[in-house]
Amino acid sequence: MTESLEPQHERPLVLITGATGYVGGRLLRRLQCFPVALRCMARRPEFLLPRVACGTKVVAGDVLDPDSLKTAMRGVATSYYLVHSMGKSKRFEEDELRGARNFGDVAKQAGVKRIIYLGGIVDETQELSAHLRSRTAVGNALRDSGVETIELRASIIIGSGSASFDMIRTLVDRLPIMLTPRWVSTPSQPIGIEDVLDYLEQAMTAKTEGHQVFEIDGPTVLSYKKLMAEYASQRGLRRLMVPVPVLTPRLSSLWLGLVTPLYARVGRILIDSIKHPTVVQDKTADAVFNIEPMSPKEAIRLALADESKELMESKWTDALSSVGDGSRWDDTVRCSRLVDLRRVHVAASPEQAFQPIAAIGGKSGWYFGNWLWRLRGWLDLLVGGVGLRRGRKHPLDLATGDYLDWWRVNTVEPGRRLVLEAEMKTPGRARLIFEVGPTNGGAWITQTAVFEPVGLLGLAYWYLLYPIHILVFRGMLKGIANRAEAIDVPAVSDAQAQDGDGSSR
């Protein structure tokens, strides 16, 4: 629910940023059980609203827009800064630093008592990757604001849905023989996601004075290679790892982009960070936090158990920043629009007509030319896009903000309307809109593909592929119509239609 922003003094007000992301999404679920008033800030509140409990408030805000932060910060006692731009453009270092400075300045003005930030373990005597350099700069900027800041620094986070665990899982599951570059042997100190959440939770009330940086860790130092070996052991798989010292981070990232769910640019960022040791040097956290971290073996076991559930709490791909700049398309800017609109009547109820639409993508496919969709997905991967491998979070249910193959659910009105926005690499903005409505004796289904091209390249992209688009869009709508008309509606017997006293329901 959106918030009226009336003053709330009965319970301390806690602000969570980054609640659409992996760690933030799990922290949100945990803190909703606490005796605090929760407020979440998101650039796209409509994406977050379906995920929050009825007592949690959601407000619009962007760390790059200081004015929007003033409303979000009003009355806040403690704020979690979990904003991250790992999948964004080349200027992500500049944007992250500017966002942190804006956030710290407004927090100071609003009287926020404490900022809690999750960064990464670094050895500042080494030349850091852009990712780790940015994580460190953000922590420094938050402290420079003058607001008491607790910075937790972690190494590899192990948990179902984390980028690191996704990489390990997919490599071991798919490759009986692995060519392993040098970075897989770099020492690290991985920590389970549940332990990270414990630290974030306790940081809210930890007895500290002034700014503090805590390195948090699991009990064992080991490498990605040993993590993969442990995963293989728990899965009952035998895997051969062959060292290949000449495989560069860039080539490794492209390889990961083809084999794993990681996009090439995200893989490159991870590898650039992994090649640096991330081992805890300062054990101060042990004296402040009452936490006994689990072993990597136990963290992998829990991650595998969570993976077996139909719906995980959160994944790294939930975050809009996982695919790039989620705000690159501004609805206030009107471009030329190229539209393919089709409508069909079906001998089915509107509810039946919407069922195949709600189940589209993932294992259900796209009802026509799935090999063409897979080919387009592979091409997208080759240029650093998301491809089709994300699938969908749930086989039947959709919520605003969910990922769906290379699409993001922009709007969903059950039984009536679904709007998907493309996150693949295209020279323009692409959307796919499905609408359903009643007619005499059935329902109509409208399918609209909208493309807003950028420059001549965008126009060329649309028109060169238009013959294929005609084939796919026509076949997809026909496939949806056929599925809708094939849905069986159980007949209601006389006995079912009456209550026990014989009256109609």
1 band by pLDDT with thresholds 50, 70 and 90: very low
> Looking at the structure, do residues 355 and 402 belong to the same domain, yes or no?
yes
* Structure token pair of residue 386: 């998301």
State whether 104 and 247 are in the same domain.
Answer: yes
Residue 479 belongs to domain spanning? 333-485
Within this chain, do residues 198 and 301 fall inside the same structural domain, yes or no?
yes
CA distances (Å), origin 278, targets 64, 165, 169, 228, 290:
30, 16, 21, 17, 22
Residue 309 above 60 pLDDT?
A: no
266 within domain boundaries: yes
Q: Are 198 and 118 in contact (CB under 8 A)?
A: no
Would 101 be classed as within a structural domain? Answer: yes
Taking alpha carbons only, the member of 326, 382, 331, 263 closest to residue 92 is: 326
- Are 24 and 151 within one domain? yes
Task: With cut-offs at 50, 70 and 90, classify the pLDDT of residue 267.
Answer: low
Based on the structure, what is the number of domains in the chain? 2
Across 387-426, b (16+ Cβ under 10 Å) vs e yields bbbbbbbeeeebebbbbbbbbbbbebeebebbbbbbbbbb
Q: Name the residue with higher pLDDT: 23 or 181.
A: 23
Give yes or no: residues 280 and 132 share one domain: yes
Higher pLDDT, residue 498 or 88: 88
Question: Average pLDDT, stretch 109-115?
Answer: 96
Q: Are residues 381 and 476 in the same domain?
A: yes
**Domain final position from 258, 293, 321:** 321
The pLDDT assigned to 336 comes to: 53
CATH number for 419 = 3.30.530.20
Q: pLDDT at residue 201 above 60?
A: yes
Determine the Cα–Cα distance for residues 133 and 120; give it in Å rounded to an integer: 9
pLDDT surpasses 70 at 390? yes
* Residue that wins the pLDDT comparison between 441 and 497: 441
Q: What is the pLDDT of residue 66?
A: 93
N- to C-terminal Cα separation, the chain: 34
Question: What pLDDT score does 175 carry?
Answer: 79
- The domain boundary, picked from 290, 321, 352, lies at 321
Examine the domain organization and report whether 312 and 414 are in the same domain.
no
Is residue 290 in some structural domain?
yes
CATH assignment at residue 239 = 3.40.50.720
Residue 261 has what pLDDT?
A: 52
Q: Is residue 495 part of a domain?
A: no
The mean per-residue pLDDT over the stretch 458-470 comes to: 86
Kindly state whether residue 100 falls inside one of the protein's structural domains.
yes
Q: Could you give the percent of the chain with pLDDT greater than 70? A: 81
- Point out the domain boundary residue: 255, 290, 321: 321
C-alpha dihedral sign at 355, 358, 361, 366: positive
Q: What is the mean pLDDT of the chain?
A: 81
Q: Please compute, for residue 265, the number of CA atoms within 13 A of its CA located in the half-sphere on the CB side.
A: 20
Nearest CA to 225 out of 190, 265, 174, 264 is that of: 190
Q: 168 pLDDT exceeds 70?
A: yes
Has residue 421 been placed in a domain?
A: yes
Per-residue pLDDT at 320 exceeds 70 = no
Same domain, 255 and 178: yes
Out of 150-159, 246-255, 371-380, 452-461, which region has the weakest mean confidence (pLDDT)?
A: 246-255
pLDDT > 50? residue 500: no
